[in-house]
Chains A and B, each alone.
Chain A
Amino acid sequence: MTLAVLLLLLQLKVPDAAQFVGQPQGMPIAGAQLTQRTNEVSELLRCPVCQGMAVADSPAEMAVNMKAQVRELLARGYTEEQILKYFELSYGQFVLLRPKFEGATSMVWLLPVFALLIGAAVLFFKLRKLEKAPSSAAAASTPVESDDEYLSRVRDLVTGGKS
C-alpha cells in the first residue's frame, strides 16, 4: 500500500535547465529559424568525447544528444547565453569553443590586440627612422620614377637601348 502511494507520487524527472539558469529570457522560436539557431549555438559548444570538434559537426551520440538539448532549450525560449551557461555549469569552460572575455581568459582576446598596437608602433618608428636614414649609394641611385628594376630595363629596351 505505502509502496503504491510512493510510486504514484514519483514522476519521471530529468534535470532541467530551469534549475540551473532560471526561466527562459528570450522568445520561443520554431521552424527554419530554430534549425539555424541550433546549428549556430552548437558551433560554440565543444563535443566532450571527440577531440576538439564542435557539437554541430560531430556525429557522436553525445554530441547528437547535446544538439537535441540545445534545440529544445532554444525552442523553449532560452537565450544563447543561458544555454552556454547551462553547459558550462556541468562541463566547465572546456565546453565553450569561444573563450569567455573574463579574468585570465580575456588575455587570449587582448594579446593579439596588444601585439597589433605594439607592432604598429614599432613599424611607425622604424619607418620614420628609415626615412631619416642617410641615403646610401644603393638607395640614391634608384631613379624615383622607376617602378621596378625590371621595368626600367624594359623601358631601356623599347626606347632603343641595347640589351
Chain B
Amino acid sequence: MNRTVLLVGVIIAAILLGVLFLGLGKNPNAIRSPLIGKAAPAFALREVGTGRIIDVTQLKGKPVVLNFWATWCGPCWEEHPILVANARMLQPNVQFLGVVFQDEESKILSFLNQRGSSYPTVVDDKGKTAIAYGVGGVPETYFIDANGVIAEKFSGPMNADVLQEHLRKVLR
C-alpha cells in the first residue's frame, strides 16, 4: 500500500467533492449585487406620458422601490399587478418607480393604459441607468431606504411575499 498516493488522492477527492457539493444547491445565474449597502446611483429621467423629469435624489426621505422592466418581457407582465396594488396600498409611505429598459414609449403607454398604473414610470437612456445599477435582465427590483442607500435587490418577477419581506428592511 502506497501512503503517498492514498494521502494525495484523498486530499484531491475531498476538495473536489466538497466544492461540487457546496455548489449543488446554488443557482449559478443568481448574481448578488455589490451595490447593497451603497448609495443608489443618481439619475433623473423623463416620465412616460407626462414628459416630467423625475430625479431619484429628490425622492430621499422615504423608501423607494425601483423596478426595472420592459413591455416585451413576460415575467414583467406577471408582476405588474402586484406592484400596482402594493404601490397603491403603501401610498404615501413608499414611493414606487418603474424604469423601462430598451422599449418604445408608445408600447409602454398602451401597456400602462391597459393594465393600469399607480406610480410613475421613466424611460432609461441606452441602458445606462440599468448598467449603473448592475441590472442583468429585466425584471429586477431594488429597495432603496429613506437615506438613499440600496438595501436589497431582487431578480425575477416580484411576488407579494418577497415584496413584504424586503419592504420591512427599508421601512425600519
Contact = CB atoms under 8 A, between A and B. Distances in A.
A89 B41 CA distance: 11
Nearest to B41: A15
Nearest to A47: B136
B42 A15 contact: yes
Contact of B34 (A12, A19, A48, A90): A90
A66 interface: yes
Contact of B131 (A10, A11, A12, A69): A69
Contacts of B45: 12-14
Contacts, number: 91
Interface residues of B, number: 32
Interface residues of A, number: 26
B31 interface: yes
A94 interface: yes
A10 B57 CA distance: 11
Interface string B114-142: 00000000001111111111111100000
Among B29, B55, B128, the one with the most A-chain Cβ atoms within 10 Å of its Cβ is: B128
B62 interface: no
Given A15-B128, A51-B29, 19 more contacts: A7-B52, A10-B44, A13-B43, A15-B41, A15-B131, A16-B128, A49-B137, A61-B127, A62-B136, A65-B128, A66-B131, A69-B126, A69-B128, A87-B131, A91-B34, A92-B33, A92-B34, A92-B134, A94-B31
